[in-house]
Amino acid sequence: MDAHISQSRVRGRTRAPPSKSYTHRAILAAGYSDGAVVRDALVSADTKATMRAVEGFGGSVDREGQTVEVTGFDGRPETPADVIDCANSGTTMRLVTACAGLGENLTVLTGDESLRSRPQGPLLEAVSDLDGRAESTRRNGLAPLVVGDGMTGGTVEIPGDVSSQYITALLMAGAVTDEGIDVELTTELKSAPYVDITLEVLADFGIEAERTDEGFSVPGGQSYRPTGGEYSVPGDFSSMSYLLAAGAVAGAEGDSVVIEGARPSAQGDSAIVDIVRDMGAEVDWDEEAGELTVSPAPLSGITVDVGDTPDLLPTIAVLGAIANGDTVIENCEHVRYKETDRVSAMAEELSKMNAHVTEEQDRLTIHGGQTDLVGADVDGRHDHRIVMSLAIAGLVADGETTVAGSEHVDVSFPNFFETMRDLGADVRED
């Protein structure tokens, strides 16, 4: 599908979807338990993949709206009757790889073309080092994967600068091994707040895990048991970033956009609040009420390090294209290994809209002072975050912007375009 966006002004009250990161972890944690209810879950293409994996390992998932009732496999995943298809969800594949490593027999994991190009090698090596079996069918560190043979735990080394999801996967699985798992990082950890999210979810499910001088540690022999048998998912700051950006660049004069569901949590992407403020927009965060209010103002370019917040790069790039001066996005090489190479994708697609951009391996500079965005036909690259960020650019570009692949917002923000229309955006899909 294509989305067609024209210059618009937005105003009003809306609610961001629940967190994708928390939902993935909560659904799998419920799978590791003997049963739990996950409330306020994000139901999207990615999180459905994690639900299917839990069912493949012998659990059951019953969903009514945003309430997901899981009967778990109690720390002992069964051998799936079929291949587990992770679709486009890298989080699912990585978290499930370590879970599959616990199985007595073998599990085959695969996904779509994009997912089959994303690196899994370090996690496969870690599972093997922990006495499991983990192989790439093509022997190149990429899916399809074959994993199993009863990973027992122990101490393992793993790089921290490829994907924090490797650490999350090992911590979640390590809690139910006999020995537990000590993860020693061989390189600096990128995207550290995502591991903080994991530690928070584990604690809420009754699992002890901690940071150490070398990395992270989780004792074995534990059981997943959330208090009262339930867990509630907080709102998603990655998704809020598009709503904040829309209010900052396309808000109606004298009016504001109010975003509900913005309660504090371990999400690193809550940094978007300060980023938008630092660029000059008026943002008020009532943390107790969980509400963000953003009003438009002239923006100025800033320098942002996205080492811990890779998912914010597309949003920041768009803000930079609209701001005065240069916006420099640093420490972003790891953002090239997402659903697509998001650094190149934003550089190339914004350039189609007349943005002046300088792309380097670990840095993206948007020259806002030399940019007047114009509508264009742009490619969402089958990536939900590219689609949504380009749609925000379309709100201020001169003329109509057509974003190809609009259906991919279903990965994290299924009703994104409906939400934008409700705020007053001129958007149609065909």
Q: Are residues 285 and 202 in the same domain?
A: no
Write down which residue in 232, 251, 284 finishes a domain.
232
Q: Are residues 257 and 398 in the same domain?
A: yes
State the number of CA atoms in the 13 A half-sphere of 333 facing the CB.
Answer: 6
Query: Annotated binding residues for phosphoenolpyruvate, as ranges?
Result: 20, 90, 118, 165, 342, 385
Q: How far apart are CA 279 and CA 286, in angstroms?
A: 20
Question: Total domain count for the chain?
Answer: 2
Q: At what angle do helices 313-322 and 271-278 cross, to 10 degrees?
A: 10
| pLDDT above 70 coverage of the chain, percent | 100
Q: List the catalytic residue out of 236, 311, 326, 379.
A: 311
Q: Are residues 265 and 327 in the same domain?
A: yes
The pLDDT value given to residue 270: 96
Burial class (CB in 10 A: 0-12, 13-18, 19+), 317: buried
Whether 311 sits among the annotated catalytic residues: the reply is: yes
Q: Are residues 42 and 96 in the same domain?
A: yes
Q: Are residues 218 and 245 in the same domain?
A: no
Write down which residue in 170, 200, 232 finishes a domain.
232
| Residue 116: pLDDT over 90 | yes
Residues 6 or more apart whose CB falls under 8 angstroms from that of 21 comprise: 91, 194, 197, 236, 238, 267
Q: Are residues 275 and 336 in the same domain?
A: yes
Q: Of 361, 366, 362, nearest to 305 (Cα)? A: 362
For residue range 362-416, what is the model confidence (pLDDT) as tens digits?
A: 999 999 999 999 999 999 999 999 999 999 999 999 999 999 999 999 999 999 9
CA quadruple 47, 49, 54, 60: dihedral positive or negative? Answer: positive
Mean pLDDT of the chain: 97
Q: Are residues 258 and 221 in the same domain?
A: no
Mean pLDDT of 335-361: 97
Q: Are residues 6 and 26 in the same domain?
A: no
| Residue 129: pLDDT over 90 | yes
* CATH number reported for the structural domain that contains residue 92 in this entry: 3.65.10.10
Phi, psi of 283 (to 5 degrees): -130, 125
Q: Are residues 265 and 217 in the same domain?
A: no
Residue 105 lies in domain: 20-232
- Quickly count: other Cβ atoms within 10 Å of residue 99's Cβ: 27
Q: Are residues 251 and 226 in the same domain?
A: no
Q: Are residues 6 and 24 in the same domain?
A: no
Q: Are residues 224 and 247 in the same domain?
A: no
Answer whether 37's CB lies under 8 Å from 69's CB: yes
For residue range 264-314, what is the model confidence (pLDDT) as tens digits?
A: 999 999 999 999 999 999 999 999 999 999 999 999 999 999 999 999 999
Q: What are the start-end ranges of the H helices in 175-227?
A: 192-204
Mean pLDDT of 63-72: 97
Answer whether 39's CB lies under 8 Å from 32's CB: no
For residue range 154-206, what is the model confidence (pLDDT) as tens digits?
A: 999 999 999 999 999 999 999 999 999 999 999 999 999 999 999 999 999 99
| DSSP per-residue codes, 1-29 | -EEEEE---B-EEEEPPBPHHHHHHHHHH
- Assess whether the previous peptide bond of 144 is cis (omega < 30° from 0): yes
| Residue 16: pLDDT over 90 | no
